[in-house]
């Protein structure tokens, strides 16, 4: 009887603890999607990221660990330009976040946050309030960041630049006047390069902006030729020094732009 009583007490104590729930396994293609997913999912998600922050997410060499991550995942998130996904996620449909828009732009990031929130709630409805609360906090933080960026980027308004196509949405958000947006270097013909150079000279372009992930020295020589400044921006957190988070990535990019026009 004594042992039975001890057993019942022990079982009662164990039952008083909440049942362990394994984190939802989420596969994302970039560190930008990782930041948004982590902001909403918090401790309830386990995230596997395909591409490193300083590599081009449109070109990806799949490893066995990536296939395994897909097979065990509950959710696969991508931007829209990752064409390789169709060949490695045949049994699971990836979900496009923010409609292929550049999520460095705060409004697009908020769009992604809300979309990820809804997806996580659908998969894990019992934690709806947790995901909603996290999303709201992330949105407030992003809106405050947006105000801060807009107040500081006034100095950049109207400054004429050439930039990579991958950066154009973010560069315009900062207030720059984009004279020409060039494609990835292997797709630039001799004629297009000549046209871009002539236009840059005619418009008196002040800055050429390369994208870290697709080629950080593409317009370096052009900048010298037209006596412009050359800078490199990152589309994804953790690609450059001091860009480990979404917020730090935007601020570092902004500071790089402001510093070069002083």
pLDDT digits (tens, 9 = 90+) for 119-161: 999 999 999 999 999 999 999 999 999 999 999 999 999 999 9
H or E segment at 180?
Answer: strand 177-182
CATH topology of domain 24-150: Rossmann fold (3.40.50)
Closest Cα partner for 256 from 245, 240, 244? 240
Per-domain residue ranges for the chain? 24-150, 157-261
User: Which long-range CB contacts under 8 A does 178-186 form with residues at least 24 apart?
Assistant: 179/203, 179/205, 180/205, 182/218, 182/219, 184/56, 184/214, 184/215, 185/214, 185/215, 185/218
Give the residue-averaged pLDDT of 7-24.
Answer: 55
CATH class, domain 157-261, is: alpha beta
In tens, the pLDDT along 198-230 reads: 999 999 999 999 999 999 999 999 999 999 999
Reply yes or no on whether the pLDDT at 8 is more than 50.
no
- Cross-strand partners of 47: 26
- pLDDT attached to residue 89: 75
Q: How confident is the model at residue 55 (pLDDT cuts 50, 70, 90)?
A: confident
State mean pLDDT over 67-75: 91
* pTM for the model: 0.89
Say if 24-150 and 157-261 have the same CATH topology: yes
């Amino acid at each position: 009887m004594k042992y039975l009583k001890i057993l019942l007490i022990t079982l009662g104590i164990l039952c008083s603890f909440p049942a362990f729930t394994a984190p939802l396994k989420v596969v994302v293609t970039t560190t930008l999607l990782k930041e948004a997913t982590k902001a909403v999912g918090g401790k309830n998600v386990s995230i596997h990221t395909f591409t490193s922050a300083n590599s081009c997410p449109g070109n990806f060499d799949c490893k066995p660990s990536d296939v395994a991550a897909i097979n065990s995942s509950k959710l696969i998130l991508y931007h829209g330009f990752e064409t390789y996904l169709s060949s490695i996620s045949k049994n699971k449909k990836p979900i496009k976040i923010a409609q292929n828009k550049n999520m460095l732009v705060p409004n697009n990031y908020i769009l992604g946050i809300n979309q990820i929130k809804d997806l996580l709630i659908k998969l894990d409805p019992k934690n709806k309030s947790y995901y909603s609360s996290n999303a709201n906090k992330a949105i407030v933080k992003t809106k405050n960041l947006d105000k801060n960026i807009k107040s500081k980027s006034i100095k950049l308004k109207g400054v004429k630049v050439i930039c990579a196509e991958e950066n154009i949405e973010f560069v315009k958000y900062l207030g720059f006047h984009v004279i020409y947006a060039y494609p990835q270097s292997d797709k630039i013909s001799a004629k297009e390069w000549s046209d871009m150079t002539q236009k840059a000279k005619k418009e008196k372009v002040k800055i050429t902006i390369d994208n870290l992930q697709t080629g950080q020295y593409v317009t370096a020589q052009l900048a010298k030729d037209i006596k412009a400044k050359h800078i490199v921006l990152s589309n994804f957190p953790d690609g450059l020094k001091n860009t480990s988070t979404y917020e730090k990535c935007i601020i570092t990019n902004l500071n790089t732009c402001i510093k070069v026009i002083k």
